[in-house]
Structure 1
Amino acid sequence: MDILEKQLICPICLEIFTKPVVILPCQHNLCRKCANDIFQASNPYLPTRGGSVSSGGRFRCPSCRHEVVLDRHGVYGLQRNLLVENIIDMYKQESTSSRPAPERTDDQPMCEVHEDEKINIYCVTCSIPTCSMCKVFGSHKDCEVAPLKSVYQVQKTELTDSLAMIVGNNDRIQGIISQLEETCRAIEENGRRQKSQLCEKFDHLYAIMEDRKREMSVKVTAEQDEKLNYIRGLKRKYEDHLENVTKLVESGIQTMEEPEMAVFLQTSKPLLQQMGEATNTSHLEKVERGYENMDHYFVDFKKERGALNGIKFIADEDEEEEDGDEAEKDAQKEQATSGGAQSGMLSSQPPPLPLPPNPVKNTSS
């Protein structure tokens, strides 16, 4: 019977369920009055009629915190748990027939002043329970007193209302916590989206810089190849000239070893003429000083570095204006890069290859 009694205790008033007992969607039970008190505390601004809520609303189950949604009938739209009501009737009958009236002599507190007197009244003036002797002859004879049972009922009702109010406040706080959690999720999602857009814009900026670097590298490579081809061709000319002179030297040595004077004289004259022509290198070009220098391809990124360091987030209205002027800025930038006058671009167009009319000095003696 004690175990059964614990199963029949209302979680709000902490007493055995009183008829009618309502069953919540989560299968937990409440006294209808307790359910109505919780509902009114959770929905203080809903209209009431005849002291009871007559419109829809919601509240949370005090046992499992499950949200209970009511229709326009309010608490009176909840289904009664007739099985629990029948069990309560059977329990009360069994308890009445099998148990004698409880003697509260041992449990009921006794007066501290009059040890033989039970505490059976409540001093309203001093707000403490006391005995009848204290009211008649003791320290509470001039105080206002009330029956202990009536004060007990009033304060128990106040405590029940306070519990219901606290439960309603907890529901509201839980709602605020849910809103804050949703706000946190929204902030995280917005942050991820903005970082993704930021990375896309920076990647676009990197692509523009890579394109410009590739275009400028092509210009430098073009002049480099042109100069290398010219120098390599000139080198081959000098190598061919050196090879011819070497052959003349070999022929001169062989002629010097000729013992016959007539034969020597026949070959020496044309050989001397060829050697005289070989010593004349006026037909060979000579590279001017500084021809290998390519310092005219230099860049200065001071202004661009300052612009990059000044990148910041802009307001929405500024972004619209910037989008409108983007085409014009791109055109100006393209014009600046083609002219080579702005910093960060080629300082000047590469000069033509230095091929003067007489680039090679005569090396003949």
Structure 2
Amino acid sequence: LNFLRGATMENLEKQLVCPVCLELFSKPVVILPCQHNLCRKCANDIFQSANPLVQARGSSSTASSGARFRCPSCRHEVVLDRHGVYGLQRNLLVENILDIYRQQESSSRVNIKPGRRQQQQLLCEEHEEEKINIYCLSCETPTCSMCKVFGKHKDCDVAPLSSVYMRQKTDLSDGIAILVASNDHVQAVITQMEEICHTVEENGQRRREQLVARLDGLVGVLDERKQELVGLIGREQDDKLKRVRSLIRRHGDHLEAAVALVESALQSIEELHMPMFIQVGEVNSVARDSNMERPELGYENMSHFVIDTDDLADVLRNIDFSPGTCRGTTCGVGHDGEEDPEGDGEESELDLCSRV
């Protein structure tokens, strides 16, 4: 409540200060047509300086008639009558507020100096009318002189409140400066780590692309070699089938000719004529010549098309990054703890090795 009351009185004081002399309005207070207030004496001084030919109050009444007066607050121009500034209307409401304000300030024992604000001191709760002006170092609390002499702080170490105030204010300022510097350092570290995160993301993405490209290249080599080996098997299979089928056709033709010859001989053997026996001799000759060509033993076997991929599978399963790029458990970090450079903006070759 004391704080709110002090703030209200301070705002009221600002409204009661003359814009010319910067002091509280002095009676009588005049009000201009533009609704701005100022002291009558200040208004008369401004009027006299702006109109040097117009005499003071004892001059003729027509001398100031039609003279112009400019408001110091808003520069609004007012045409005065024959009474000059004394013809301006008094603001009785402001005068009454001034009287109430002075009475209130007098009762609260606060003296207001013109043009500045005087800080109000706190009073001791145990000793009325005693201002708190010392600081108990033992209890770490502000107190008054009576508490030190007769009160509960008589055996404590004390110091002037102003010196403790200045010391603590200096310590607080130093602490704020240290905290601000620490915050700046923390922010710099955070910024640096954010940049590291960004760099790690870029390097990781680049390494993943290189790894996928290398392994896709290996897959391409395997696929190409697979096509070649499958082609070898297919060609040998076709050659063997071609030869065997050719022999089958030759044997089939020979068999058909022999069957026809046998049928003809069987028909001729019934004949008692000698030429038929000559034909029988020809059949025997054909029978003796029937040992035709055939594939050698094991010709159908294709077991020689065998590849051993066990070692190659072990090699593929053990593909890893070479020791030159991975040291320990952290890739890209040397034995001295420094990060290996990624190169001068160019993508480095991905080093891979395999351990069997």
Q: TM-score, normalised by structure 1?
A: 0.49
Structure 1 or 2: more helix by fraction:
1
Q: TM-score, normalised by structure 2?
A: 0.50
